[in-house]
C-alpha cells in the first residue's frame, strides 16, 4: 500500500457494504481486511466505528478521529529505518536515566484471603471514585481502572485481585505494582491466604497498606486482627510499629478515603516517576481474542505515551495500535504513564505479564518477533533449571542476591524450627531466606512464587500437587522433597557453601548372563555373555551378581562383539565384557549394566 492517506468520515455503526461504498472499494475487500484482523463479517453486517476504522486505515484511509499526522503506511515503507531494530530494543525501561521525569499515578494491586472483600473494595472504589473522562462513557471492566484519591490525585487499580495474578506477572519478569493493599476481614482475622499474600508482596519488595475490612460485621474484632498482624512482623502504627493499617467497610464505603490517602502517602515514599515524552513501555494485564474485534489486550503503561497508530512488539506478538479504549469505554488516541487501556491491533493474544514496547514500524516489530521466535526454537528445550546447586553458582556470579526458599510442611510444628534454622544458615556471601512457609501440599502458587523470586521449593513430608509438578517442570523450578529435617538443613548448608553434590539416580540399561569365561592371563578375563534384556552401552557400569549376591561393581572397561570393539550390544546378542578390576567371572553370573543419571 503506497497511496497517500485520504480522510474519511465514518459513523458510529456502519454496514459492511456501505463502508465499501464509502471507501470506493469492493465489499469483498472489506471482508478480507476484516478477516485479516480476526473479524468474521458478512456484507450486510453492521460493524462499529472502531472496527471500520481499522479496515479504513488498512486500506489507506484516515478515519474521522485520526489525529496523528504520521500514518502507519508511511512508516511501513520506510525501509532504511529497519536498521534501528537493535538499538530500539536496547532502550531502558526504567526511566532512571531520563531527565524529563514527572510523577505518575501509583499502580495498586489488591490481595488477600478469599471472601475477605477484595472485589467489594475494588467495586466500591470504582463506583465512588472512578475518574470519569470527558465523554463519560459506561465504566467497563478492562482489568484495571483509575480512581482519584480524596486530594484529587489519581491512583491506578489493577482489577484482578489475588496473589496468583500478582505473582504470575512477576514470574514473567513484570513488576508493575507500586503499592499493595492487603485486605483482611476483621471477623475472620489473618487467614492462610492472608499470610500467603503478605509473603508474595514481601518477596516482590512492594510496600503494603493493610485494610482491615468488614468492621461493620457483628463479630468484627479489630484489635485481634491487629495483634495477629504483629505475629507476621507487621506491627501497626498504633502498636508502636510502622505498618499502615486502615479499618474499612468495603460494603458500606467507610474508611475508603482514608485508605486511598494512605495508599498515596505510602506511594509518595518512593514517588513513582515516568517520562511521558518517550515511546511507551508497559505490560499486558489481560488479553483475549474477540470474534468481532480481533485481539483485544488490556495494557498498563509503565512509562511513555502510547499513540494510536504506534507499532508494538509484545513478546512473540506484534501489531499496530488500531484503536485504544480507556477504562470508561471511550475511544482515545493517546495514553500516558500508569494508564490502563484496551488496545486492538495485535496479531496474536499475548500472555498476561508480557512486556510491550513501541517500534518505528509494524514491519520492524514483526521482523523482531520472527527473529526472537527463531532464536527460541534454536535454543529448544534447553531451559535452565534453578536448583540448589545451580543457585549457588548464580549467587556467585552476582545474578541472584539471595537463596530464596519456599517451604511447605505437613504440620505447623515442623515449620517454625525449620524457618529459624534455615534463615540462620546465611553466610557472608549467601543470604538464605525463607520467603514463604506454610502447611500443605506444594501448589501452583508456591511454584509461581519460586519462579518470580528465583528460588527453590522445599517440601517436608508433603507432596506437590499434579498441577504444581507440571508447572515446576515447565518453569524449571526445583521441588526438593524430604522426610528428615536434618537432611534439609544439611543440604541447604552445603548448597550455601557451594558444595552440594548433584544428586544421581541409577538407571538400568541391561541384564546380561555370563555363559563362558575366557581367561587372559591371571588378572584378566572376558565374560562371554548373552544380553537377556536391554542394551549394553560401552560407557556404563556393571554389577556382577552371583546367586543374588553382589560380587563386584565397577565400570565396563571393554565391550566386544567377536573380536571388534563396539559401542553397544542389543538384546538377544552375545558379547564379550570386561569389567574394571575384576577377573573372577563364573558361568551363570548375572551382570546388571547401569549408569548414573543426574536427577535434576
The residues binding ligand GDP (CB under 6 A) are 112, 114-120, 161, 213-214, 216-217, 249-251
Closest separation between CB of residue 157 and ligand GDP, Å? 13
Which of 121/281 has CB closer to ligand GDP? 121
Q: Is 502 helix (H, G, I), strand (E, B) or coil?
A: coil
Closest separation between CB of residue 447 and ligand GDP, Å? 22
Whole-number Å distance between alpha carbons of 103 and 108: 15
Which of 251/600 has CB closer to ligand GDP? 251
**All 3 cell numbers of residue 558?**
571393554
Closest separation between CB of residue 211 and ligand GDP, Å? 10
Which of 225/361 has CB closer to ligand GDP? 225
Which of 92/114 has CB closer to ligand GDP? 114
Secondary structure in 3-state letters for 113-149: CCCCCHHHHHHHHHHHHECCCCCCCCCCCCCEEEEEC
Q: Is 448 helix (H, G, I), strand (E, B) or coil?
A: helix
Which of 120/338 has CB closer to ligand GDP? 120
Which of 201/280 has CB closer to ligand GDP? 201
Q: Is 438 helix (H, G, I), strand (E, B) or coil?
A: strand
Closest separation between CB of residue 122 and ligand GDP, Å? 8
Cα–Cα nearest to 489, from 429, 411, 407: 407
Closest separation between CB of residue 487 and ligand GDP, Å? 39
Q: What is the 8-class DSSP label of residue 471?
A: H
**All 3 cell numbers of residue 510?**
541391561
Give exposure, 358-367, as e/b (b: 16+ Cβ within 10 Å).
bbbbbbbbbb
Please say whether the beta carbons of 368 and 88 come within 8 A: no
Closest separation between CB of residue 283 and ligand GDP, Å? 23
Whole-number Å distance between alpha carbons of 155 and 126: 11
CB atoms near residue 433 (< 10 Å): 18
Which of 254/568 has CB closer to ligand GDP? 254
H or E element in which residue 230 lies: helix 222-231
Whole-number Å distance between alpha carbons of 349 and 218: 46
Backbone angles phi, psi at 434, to 5 degrees: -85, 105
Please say whether the beta carbons of 266 and 209 come within 8 A: yes
Closest separation between CB of residue 277 and ligand GDP, Å? 38
Which of 141/538 has CB closer to ligand GDP? 141
Closest separation between CB of residue 214 and ligand GDP, Å? 4
Amino acid at each position: 500500500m503506497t497511496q497517500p492517506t485520504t480522510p474519511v468520515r465514518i459513523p458510529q455503526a456502519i454496514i459492511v457494504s456501505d463502508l465499501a461504498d464509502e471507501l470506493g472499494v469492493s465489499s469483498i475487500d472489506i471482508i478480507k481486511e476484516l478477516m485479516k484482523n480476526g473479524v468474521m463479517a458478512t456484507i450486510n453486517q453492521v460493524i462499529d466505528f472502531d472496527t471500520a476504522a481499522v479496515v479504513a486505515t488498512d486500506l489507506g484511509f484516515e478515519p474521522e478521529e485520526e489525529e496523528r499526522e504520521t500514518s502507519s503506511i508511511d512508516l511501513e515503507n520506510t525501509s532504511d529505518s529497519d536498521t534501528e531494530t537493535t538499538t530500539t530494543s536496547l532502550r531502558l525501561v526504567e526511566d532512571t536515566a531520563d531527565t524529563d521525569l514527572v510523577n505518575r499515578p501509583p499502580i495498586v494491586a489488591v490481595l488477600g484471603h478469599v471472601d475477605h472483600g477484595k472485589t467489594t473494595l475494588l467495586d466500591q472504589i470504582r463506583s465512588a471514585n472512578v475518574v470519569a473522562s470527558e465523554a463519560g462513557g459506561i465504566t467497563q471492566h478492562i482489568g484495571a481502572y483509575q480512581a482519584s484519591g480524596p486530594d484529587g490525585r489519581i491512583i491506578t487499580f489493577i482489577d484482578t485481585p489475588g496473589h496468583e495474578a500478582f505473582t504470575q506477572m512477576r514470574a514473567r519478569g513484570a513488576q508493575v505494582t507500586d503499592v499493595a493493599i492487603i485486605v483482611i476481614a476483621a471477623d475472620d482475622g489473618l487467614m492462610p491466604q492472608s499470610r500467603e499474600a503478605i509473603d508474595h508482596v514481601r518477596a516482590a519488595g512492594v510496600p503494603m497498606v493493610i485494610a482491615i475490612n468488614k468492621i461493620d460485621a457483628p463479630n468484627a474484632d479489630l484489635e485481634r486482627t491487629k495483634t495477629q498482624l504483629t505475629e507476621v512482623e507487621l506491627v501497626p502504627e498504633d502498636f508502636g510499629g510502622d505498618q499502615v493499617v486502615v479499618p474499612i467497610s468495603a460494603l458500606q464505603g467507610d474508611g475508603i478515603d482514608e485508605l486511598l490517602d494512605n495508599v498515596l502517602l505510602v506511594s509518595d515514599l518512593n514517588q513513582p516517576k515516568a517520562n511521558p515524552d518517550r515511546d511507551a513501555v508497559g505490560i499486558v494485564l489481560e488479553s483475549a481474542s474477540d470474534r468481532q474485534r480481533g485481539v483485544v489486550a488490556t495494557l498498563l503503561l509503565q512509562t511513555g505515551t502510547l499513540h494510536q497508530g504506534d507499532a508494538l512488539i509484545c513478546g512473540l506478538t506484534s501489531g499496530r495500535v488500531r484503536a485504544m479504549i480507556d477504562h470508561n469505554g471511550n475511544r482515545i488516541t493517546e495514553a500516558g504513564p500508569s494508564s490502563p487501556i484496551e488496545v486492538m491491533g495485535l496479531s496474536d493474544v499475548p500472555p498476561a505479564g508480557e512486556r510491550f514496547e513501541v517500534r518505528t514500524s509494524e514491519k520492524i516489530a514483526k521482523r523482531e518477533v520472527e527473529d526472537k521466535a527463531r532464536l527460541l526454537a534454536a535454543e529448544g528445550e534447553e531451559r535452565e533449571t534453578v536448583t540448589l546447586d545451580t543457585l549457588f553458582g548464580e549467587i556467585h556470579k552476582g545474578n541472584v542476591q539471595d537463596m530464596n526458599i519456599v517451604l511447605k510442611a505437613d504440620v505447623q510444628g515442623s515449620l517454625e524450627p525449620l524457618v529459624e534454622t534455615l534463615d540462620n544458615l546465611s553466610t557472608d556471601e549467601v543470604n538464605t531466606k525463607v520467603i514463604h512457609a506454610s502447611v500443605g501440599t506444594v501448589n501452583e502458587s508456591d511454584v509461581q512464587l519460586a519462579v518470580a523470586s528465583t528460588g527453590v521449593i522445599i517440601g517436608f513430608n508433603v507432596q506437590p500437587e499434579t498441577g504444581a509438578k507440571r508447572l515446576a517442570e515447565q518453569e524449571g523450578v526445583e521441588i526438593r522433597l524430604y522426610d528428615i529435617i536434618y537432611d534439609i538443613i544439611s543440604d541447604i548448608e552445603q548448597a550455601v557453601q557451594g558444595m552440594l553434590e548433584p544428586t544421581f539416580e541409577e538407571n538400568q540399561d541391561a541384564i546380561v548372563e555370563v555363559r563362558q569365561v575366557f581367561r587372559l592371563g591371571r588378572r584378566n578375563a572376558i565374560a562371554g555373555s548373552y544380553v537377556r534384556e536391554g542394551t549394553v552401552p560401552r560407557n556404563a557400569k556393571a554389577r556382577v551378581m552371583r546367586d543374588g549376591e553382589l560380587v563386584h561393581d565397577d565400570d565396563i572397561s571393554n565391550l566386544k562383539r567377536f573380536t571388534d570393539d563396539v559401542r553397544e550390544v542389543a538384546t538377544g546378542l552375545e558379547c564379550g565384557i570386561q569389567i574394571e578390576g575384576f577377573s573372577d567371572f563364573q558361568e551363570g553370573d548375572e551382570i546388571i549394566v547401569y549408569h548414573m543419571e543426574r536427577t535434576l
